[in-house]
Amino acid sequence: MKSVTIIVPCYNEEAVLEKLYARLDTVLNSLDSYRFEVLFVNDGSSDNTLTVIKSLHQRDSRISYLDFSRNFGKEMAMVAGLDHADSDAVVLMDADLQHPPEMIRDMLIYWEQGYDDVYTKRKNRLDEGVIKRNITEAFYNILQKVSRIDIQKNVGDFRLLDRRCVNSLRLLRESQRYTKGMFSWVGYKKKEVLFQCEPRAAGQTKWNYFSLINLAIEGITSFTTLPLKIASLLGSFISIIAMLFMGWIILNTLLYGDPVQGYPTLMTTILFLGGIQLIFLGVIGEYLSRIFNESKNRPLYIINEYNGRKVTYRARTERDREYLDE
C-alpha cells in the first residue's frame, strides 16, 4: 500500500481546522487504496490551534503534528513537514481551505501515471483585490525574465511531490528560502492541474504588502545575481555619459568662453548619482545579508513537540566531539 503524507502548515488557524478536517476526512476515506498521514505543523500559533490539532490527533490515528517553539514562517513549516514525512509522496496544502482537498484525488491519478511533481495552478484569485493581483502579476513577469529557471505564475505551494522530489528538496538547507523557486530548481517530471482558488474559509490572511515585497526581494535575490550586473552596467553607462559631458564642457569653454554657470545642473547631477549609488549599495547589502545569514548555519526551525513527545536537541559542543573521538 502506498503511503501519502499531507503536510499542513498552521498559524493561528483555530477557526478553520475542524472544517478542514471534515473535508479532508471525506476525501481520504474515499481513497482507500492509500495509507494517509496528515501532518499538521503548528507554526507557533498564539491562539488555540495546537489544542484543536491535539484533539484531532486523539480522535484520528492518521493525524500527527509538529509544534514549533515559536513562529518560524510558512516556508520553515513546510521544510519541517518535508523532513518528517517518510511516505511515498507528500501533498503540501494550506490550512484555510483555499486549497480544496478534493484536488488530492486528481493529483494522485497523475502521480500514478508517473509524474513526480503534480502542481496546481489557480484559475483565478477571488479573494484578492485588483492591486494585489496586478502587483503579483508584474512580479512574476520580472522574475521570469531575470532568472534562468522557470518559475510558474499563479502556482502556489499546493502540490503533490514524489518521494524523490522530497528527498532532493531536503538537500537544500538555505535559511532564506523561496520555496516556489526550489520546486523548479530540483526539476523532475512535472504536471500542471488547474483549480479554482476559493476564498479563505475563516480567519485572516497572514500576508500584508510588506511581506509580499519581502517575498519578491527574496525571490529575486535567491535566484539571480542580475541586480549586481545591472549595477555594473549602469555604472559604466553613466561614466561614459559623464566623460562625454566633460568633453563637451571643456570644448564649450575653450571655443566660446562660456562662463561657468549651472548650479541647478550640478545639484541634480550630484543628487541623481548619490541616489543611484545608495540604491546599489542597498542591492549589494541585500546579497551581503544573505551571505551573513547563511554563514551562521543555524537549524531552520526548532521543534517543541512531535506527536505529544517533547523534543530535546542534542547539543553539539566541543566536549561532545572530544568524547566521540575516543
* Binding residues vs ligand UDP (CB under 6 A): 9-11, 13, 43, 71, 73-74, 77, 94-96, 98, 200, 205-207
How many angstroms separate the Cα of 67 from the Cα of each of 9, 22, 199, 300, 324?
10, 22, 26, 14, 31
Nearer to Mg ion, 199 or 308 (CB): 199
How many angstroms separate the Cα of 46 from the Cα of each of 42, 200, 228, 272?
10, 19, 40, 46
Stretch that binds Mg ion, among 8-16, 64-72, 93-101, 242-250 (CB under 5 A): 93-101
Helices (H), ranges, 147-225: 163-170, 179-186, 209-223
Q: Cβ of residue 295: shortest distance to Mg ion, in angstroms?
A: 33
Q: Is 309 exposed, middle or buried (0-12, 13-18, 19+ CB in 10 A)?
A: exposed
According to CB under 5 A, which one of 5, 45, 64, 98 is a site residue for Mg ion? 98
Stretch that binds Mg ion, among 92-100, 165-173, 212-220, 295-303 (CB under 5 A): 92-100
Based on the shown chain and the rule CB under 5 A, indicate whether residue 96 belongs to the binding site for Mg ion.
yes
CB 106 within 8 A of CB 196: no
Sign of CA dihedral 93, 96, 100, 101: positive
CB 164 within 8 A of CB 82: no
Out of Mg ion, ligand UDP, none, which partner does residue 116 contact, by CB within 5 to 8 A per kind? Answer: none
Helices (H), ranges, 31-119: 49-59, 74-84, 103-112
Nearer to Mg ion, 43 or 94 (CB): 94
Residue with cell 471534515: 22
Q: Cβ of residue 272: shortest distance to ligand UDP, in angstroms?
A: 38
Out of Mg ion, ligand UDP, none, which partner does residue 71 contact, by CB within 5 to 8 A per kind? Answer: ligand UDP
Backbone angles phi, psi at 7, to 5 degrees: -100, 125
Out of ligand UDP, Mg ion, none, which partner does residue 207 contact, by CB within 5 to 8 A per kind? Answer: ligand UDP
Q: Cβ of residue 128: shortest distance to ligand UDP, in angstroms?
A: 8
Out of ligand UDP, Mg ion, none, which partner does residue 95 contact, by CB within 5 to 8 A per kind? Answer: ligand UDP
Using alpha carbons, select from 211, 215, 230 the residue that is nearest to residue 283: 230
Stretch that binds Mg ion, among 91-99, 149-157, 170-178, 251-259 (CB under 5 A): 91-99
Q: Cβ of residue 5: shortest distance to ligand UDP, in angstroms?
A: 16
Based on the shown chain and the rule CB under 5 A, indicate whether residue 147 belongs to the binding site for Mg ion.
no
Could you list the residues that contact Mg ion (CB under 5 A)? 94, 96, 98
